[in-house]
Each structure stands twice: as structure tokens, then as C-alpha cells.
């Protein structure tokens, strides 16, 4: 079928399916198909509700079932960009015809902001086809497109070296785009800092449809998209990252303690030392509620760990710095770094590295996440209070991620992410459920809010800080109207603190003055009277 025939075929369906829609949508589609930016046809990359594949394309990268309900607002269309020209055309045409664009890479954003909007109509620019990865062990760098997953990046590195890695998250199906642009972190952050601390270049398509790299975009914009959220400033196509060196064999362990095993004392000690341990050692602390031997609800603390070294060295460090945990040689396993990622994410022992290539999550659930920062050790009395509240609520899980090491050495102004020195740990609040419906969602989400409120005395204040990659609409929503700057400031200072937020707003105002790239928690522009 010729291109002209395809266009006629395409419009035959769309004139019917969009009969009740505004002309802007139809004009947008025509603009896409006829865009002079195109180097390859775009018709095969456009899906609307009349396409049989539309539900599959939409749902394939929905990672939070809260946003896969029948009542969830759906996009007018999805563009699954096949190349750079499709991205350029999408931006130019959406801007011309005033259509809201949502950009999606892996779909793991906790509030669904990359594929849901209360404003209608909107469309999704989905980048999952843009996933090339070029690894250079000689230069110890890699170019990775934002539609790739972390698992794919790790696998490509491992193909060429078992002593190189990249400091990012342990969930293999997370998209590179959102992870890096929102700062990113993983089990090696105490050794090598955040994911964005290891990014040295990027390619972004700006609001005018122009492709820029670090040199042509300038240092301010490069700074903004390495931790400030790329979707506020353009469409990031790829990042150039620096690989880090790891031993051919690393050590992992998982130790668990319950209330009957002095969990309060062990947790208290963790808060004293976790951010002061050897930089090669990362020990998480995870609290959940389980049944004890008598069938009663009790607190369990889990301590999963990665050590960039061997078991003997690890045991020496633990004996000196954290003997309260009671780590034994039998608790430890040595393996290569990619296997440690699979181990940490609870894949079965012996899973091949190719497991990292799967884009299908191990499970799909409804979920809610929140975050906090701990700057002072919590007292034993405080921990007891937290445990009591958790047992009362039963379902919420608290994960403490230790800071210190390299994290404390980098300036809070080096990247938009400001949570550096002075932090013991970041907390994630997590609750998963399987029931559908708004009523169930509200009930479970409220449990996280109750615990979050209870934690107020133990966490950062003025502002109460939060982590951008743990998106949380509870801390502020932007309606992108006349009060956009004021609304944006509410959550902006929590994610970035005041100085970094002001710099992000300044960059945004320069590169996207009309606020084309926007969502419910995007960076606002300055009010018109201050521009």
C-alpha cells in the first residue's frame, strides 16, 4: 500500500472516530503525517482507540494498576516514536495545535504522570522503541537511549566486561529516561553517588523541535535534566554515562530480625552507623509487619546488602562497625555484579543474565509510594512508637536507604537533587494491593498518609523533603493555570530545596517560556510579571 493510500485509509477511520472531537485533534494527526520533519513514515507509529492494538500499547507500560481502571482518563492517541524525526514532529505539531503531551519511557512513575491526565484531550509520546545502547569499555562510557531499561543497560555492559557496572536501580524494567532525569540511585550510591552524578552528556529535543547535546544546550539545561525531571524541559533522547569499576566478585547478604530478636536495638544501631560504614558497603533496612510464632502481628526488620568486596573483608568491617546485626559467614554469598542485581530483586538463584532483558515486571499491583529524609538518629522510644503504629496499620512497608560516603561529598548544588550531606537515610513508604476501584485505592492510600503523619517528628523539616523519583501528588499538585508558579513552589522546594528550585524555574522560563512541557508536578515558569 502506498503512503497516499495509507493516509486515506488512516483518515477514513479517524474522521469517524474523532467526529465528536475538536478539530485540533484531527489537525494534529494531519500535521504529524505530513510533517516536513519526518525522515520515515509515522503512520505505523500512531495508535488511537479505533486501533485493535490501542489497549495493548497503552497498558504494556502501565506499571501501577491504580491507573489502569475503566475510570482512568485515556489518551486520544499514542505515538510510539520509531526514530528521532517522530519525536520532533510530535512536539512541533502538539505545540501548534495545543495538544497536551505526556512522555513515557518505562512507565514506572509512581503517580502515572507519563500516561494519565485529568485534562482532555492529551496524547502519549512513548519512547520504548528508542532503546539503543552503545557501550565502550575502552572509554568506560556508554550512550543509552531513554526508552531502554536499566536491565538492558546492565546486560550490555556485562556482555563486554564483568568488572564494569553502572550505579542505578535494582529494578530491571525501569526505563532509563525517567530514572536518570529524576536523579536515580542504587546500591552503589555510597561508593559512586547518584545515577546522575555519572552522566556526562545528553541529547534532548527542545520545544522548537531541535536536537541539542550538552555543548549546544548549555550547562544550565544539562544541569536541569540531570535530576530536575527531563519532561519539564523537553524530550530527552539519550544520555552518555560513565561506567564504574566493580570487583569480579561482590558479596550480598540478607539478615532478618523480629521483635523477639531485639529489632529495636539493631535498628537503633543501624541509624547510628549506616551512613558511616565503609563506602563499599550498602545496607538497607526494611520494616514490615508479619505474624510471630503465636500468630500475633509483629515488626520484622530486613537488612539486604551489597558489598563491593569479598566475604572475609566484609565480616571484618561488620565485626568492627556493626556487630549488633550478628552477620555470619553463612549469611554471605559471593557472585558477580549482574547476579547481585538479580539477587537483590528476588529472582530465583542461578537466573541467567538474560533475565535482565525482560520488559515484563515480575508482578503488577496497585501501589502508593511516599518519601522522607532522616537527618538525626531516631531514639529507641521513637522507633517503638513507629513500630506500634505500623502494627496498627499492618500494610505499610518502610525502607531506609543509607546515605553518607560519596553522597555526603558532592555539593547539594551540583545537581538539582539536593539531599546530600546531613542525611542519614531516605525513607520510602510502600503499600501494594490487588483490589480494583477508587474506594479500595483511597482506603489503602490513606494508610500511607497516616504513617507519614506519624513520622513527622522523626524526619526533615522546613521543608519536609522528598525525592522526585518517588513521585507523590500528596505533597502538591500543579494545575498549570495562573497560579502555576505558586503551586509549583509547594512541591518544588520539597523535591529540590529553595536554591535549586529557583534555578530550575529560571532554566524552565528560558527554554520553555510558554510551559508546553508540563504535568501535575512539572517545573513552572516564572509569573509573567517577573519574566
Q: Name every residue whose Cβ is closer than 8 Å to that of residue 523 and which is 6 or more positions away in sequence.
A: 224, 228, 229, 232, 233, 488, 492, 501, 504, 505, 507, 508
Q: Name every residue whose Cβ is closer than 8 Å to that of residue 310 and which is 6 or more positions away in sequence.
A: 247, 249, 251, 334
For residue 101, is it left (φ>0), alpha (ψ between -120 and 50) or beta?
A: beta
Between CA 128 and CA 233 the distance in angstroms is 19
**11, 22 Cβ separation under 8 angstroms:** no
pLDDT per position as a tens digit, 315-333 = 999 999 999 999 999 999 9
Q: How far apart are the first and last CA of the chain?
A: 51
Between CA 64 and CA 83 the distance in angstroms is 27
Picking from 195, 290, 291, 315, the residue whose alpha carbon sits closest to that of residue 244 is: 195
* Residue for grid cell 546492565: 154
Between CA 525 and CA 513 the distance in angstroms is 6
Strand segments, DSSP code E, in 259-355 are 281-283, 285-291, 297-307, 332-335
Q: Which helix (H) or strand (E) holds 22?
A: none
Distances (CA, A) of 271 to 262, 319, 322, 430: 15, 17, 11, 20
Between CA 496 and CA 419 the distance in angstroms is 8
Between CA 172 and CA 152 the distance in angstroms is 7
Q: What DSSP letter does each residue of 392-426 carry, written as one string?
A: HH-S-EEEEEE--THHHHS-TTSSS----TT-SEE
**458, 378 Cβ separation under 8 angstroms:** yes
3-state secondary structure of 484: helix
Q: Which helix (H) or strand (E) holds 245?
A: strand 244-245
Between CA 65 and CA 76 the distance in angstroms is 20
Predicted local confidence at residue 217, as pLDDT = 98
What is the SS3 assignment for 421-438?
Answer: CCCCEEEEEEEEECCCCH
How would you classify the pairing of strands 250-258 and 297-307? antiparallel
Between CA 375 and CA 17 the distance in angstroms is 55
pLDDT per position as a tens digit, 305-318 = 999 999 999 999 99
Predicted local confidence at residue 531, as pLDDT = 52
DSSP 248: S
* Residue for grid cell 541509624: 271
Predicted local confidence at residue 379, as pLDDT = 97
Predicted local confidence at residue 260, as pLDDT = 80
DSSP 326: -
Tell me what percent of the chain is helix, strand and coil, each rounded to the nearest 5.
Answer: 40, 20, 40
Q: What DSSP letter does each residue of 125-177 carry, written as one string?
A: EE-TT---EEEETTTTEEEEETTSBHHHHHHHHHHH-SSEE----S-TTSBHH
**403, 460 Cβ separation under 8 angstroms:** no
Predicted local confidence at residue 529, as pLDDT = 57
The phi, psi pair for 62, rounded to 5°, reads -95, 115
The phi, psi pair for 406, rounded to 5°, reads -60, -30
How would you classify the pairing of strands 133-136 and 425-433? unpaired
C-alpha cell, 68: 489502569
Between CA 291 and CA 520 the distance in angstroms is 39
C-alpha cell, 124: 502519549
Q: Which residues are catalytic?
A: 470
3-state secondary structure of 313: helix
pLDDT by residue, tens only, the chain of 531 residues = 444 344 434 444 444 444 445 577 889 999 999 999 999 999 999 999 999 999 999 999 999 999 999 999 999 999 999 999 999 999 999 999 999 999 999 999 999 999 999 887 999 999 999 999 999 999 999 999 999 999 999 999 999 999 999 999 999 999 999 999 999 999 999 999 999 999 999 999 999 999 999 999 999 999 999 999 999 999 999 999 999 999 999 999 999 998 888 899 999 999 999 999 999 999 999 999 999 888 899 999 999 999 999 999 999 999 999 999 999 999 999 999 999 999 999 999 889 999 999 999 988 999 999 999 999 999 999 999 999 999 999 999 999 999 999 999 999 999 999 999 999 999 999 999 999 999 999 999 999 999 999 999 999 999 999 999 999 999 999 999 999 999 999 999 999 999 999 999 999 999 999 999 999 999 999 997 565
Amino acid at each position: 500500500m502506498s503512503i497516499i493510500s495509507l493516509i486515506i485509509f488512516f483518515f477514513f477511520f479517524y474522521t469517524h472516530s474523532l467526529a465528536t472531537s475538536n478539530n485540533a485533534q484531527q489537525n494534529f494527526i494531519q500535521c504529524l503525517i505530513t510533517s516536513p520533519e519526518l525522515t520515515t513514515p509515522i503512520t505505523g507509529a500512531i495508535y488511537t482507540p479505533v486501533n485493535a492494538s490501542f489497549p495493548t500499547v497503552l497498558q504494556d507500560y502501565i506499571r501501577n494498576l491504580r491507573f489502569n481502571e475503566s475510570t482512568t482518563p485515556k489518551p486520544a492517541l499514542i505515538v510510539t516514536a520509531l526514530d528521532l524525526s517522530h519525536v520532533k514532529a510530535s512536539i512541533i505539531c502538539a505545540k501548534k495545535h495545543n495538544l497536551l503531551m505526556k512522555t513515557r519511557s518505562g512507565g514506572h512513575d509512581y503517580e502515572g504522570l507519563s500516561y494519565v491526565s485529568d485534562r482532555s484531550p492529551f496524547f502519549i509520546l512513548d519512547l520504548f522503541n528508542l532503546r539503543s545502547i552503545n557501550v565502550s569499555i575502552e572509554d568506560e562510557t556508554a550512550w543509552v537511549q531513554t526508552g531502554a531499561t536499566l536491565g538492558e543497560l546492565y546486560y550490555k555492559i556485562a556482555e563486554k566486561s564483568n568488572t564494569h557496572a553502572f550505579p542505578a536501580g535494582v529494578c530491571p524494567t525501569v526505563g532509563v529516561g525517567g530514572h536518570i532525569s529524576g536523579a536515580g540511585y542504587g546500591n552503589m550510591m555510597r561508593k559512586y553517588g547518584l545515577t546522575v552524578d555519572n552522566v556526562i552528556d545528553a541529547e534532548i529535543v527542545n520545544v522548537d523541535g531541535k536536537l541539542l547535546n550538552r555543548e549546544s544546550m548549555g550547562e544550565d539545561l544539562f544541569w536541569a535534566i540531570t535530576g530536575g525531571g527531563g519532561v519539564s524541559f523537553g524530550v530527552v533522547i539519550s544520555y552518555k554515562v560513565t561506567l564504574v569499576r566493580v570487583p569480579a566478585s561482590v558479596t550480598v547478604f540478607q539478615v532478618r530480625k523480629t521483635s523477639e530478636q531485639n529489632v529495636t536495638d539493631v535498628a537503633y544501631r543501624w541509624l547510628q552507623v549506616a551512613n558511616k560504614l565503609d563506602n563499599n558497603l550498602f545496607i538497607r533496612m526494611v520494616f514490615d509487619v508479619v505474624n510471630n510464632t503465636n500468630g500475633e502481628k509483629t515488626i520484622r526488620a530486613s537488612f539486604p546488602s551489597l558489598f563491593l568486596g569479598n566475604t572475609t573483608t566484609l565480616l571484618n568491617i561488620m565485626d568492627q562497625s556493626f556487630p549488633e546485626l550478628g552477620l555470619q559467614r553463612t549469611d554471605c554469598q559471593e557472585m558477580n555484579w549482574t547476579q547481585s542485581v538479580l539477587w537483590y530483586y528476588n529472582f530465583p538463584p542461578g537466573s541467567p543474565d538474560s533475565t535482565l532483558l525482560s520488559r515484563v515486571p515480575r508482578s503488577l499491583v496497585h501501589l502508593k509510594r511516599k518519601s522522607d529524609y532522616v537527618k538525626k538518629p531516631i531514639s529507641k522510644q521513637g522507633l517503638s512508637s513507629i513500630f506500634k503504629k505500623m502494627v496498627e496499620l499492618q500494610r505499610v512497608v518502610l525502607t531506609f536507604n543509607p546515605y553518607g560516603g560519596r553522597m555526603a561529598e558532592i555539593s547539594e548544588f551540583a545537581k538539582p537533587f539536593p539531599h546530600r550531606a546531613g542525611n542519614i537515610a531516605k525513607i520510602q513508604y510502600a503499600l501494594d494491593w490487588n483490589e480494583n476501584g477508587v474506594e479500595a485505592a483511597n482506603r489503602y492510600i490513606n494508610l500511607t498518609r497516616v504513617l507519614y503523619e506519624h513520622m513527622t517528628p522523626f524526619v526533615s523539616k522546613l521543608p519536609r523533603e522528598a525525592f522526585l523519583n518517588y513521585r507523590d501528588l500528596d505533597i502538591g499538585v500543579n494545575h498549570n493555570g495562573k497560579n502555576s508558579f505558586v503551586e509549583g513552589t509547594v512541591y518544588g522546594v520539597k523535591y529540590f530545596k529553595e536554591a535549586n528550585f529557583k534555578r530550575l524555574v529560571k532554566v524552565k522560563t528560558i527554554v520553555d517560556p510558554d510551559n508546553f512541557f508540563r504535568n501535575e508536578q512539572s517545573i513552572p515558569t516564572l509569573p509573567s510579571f517577573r519574566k
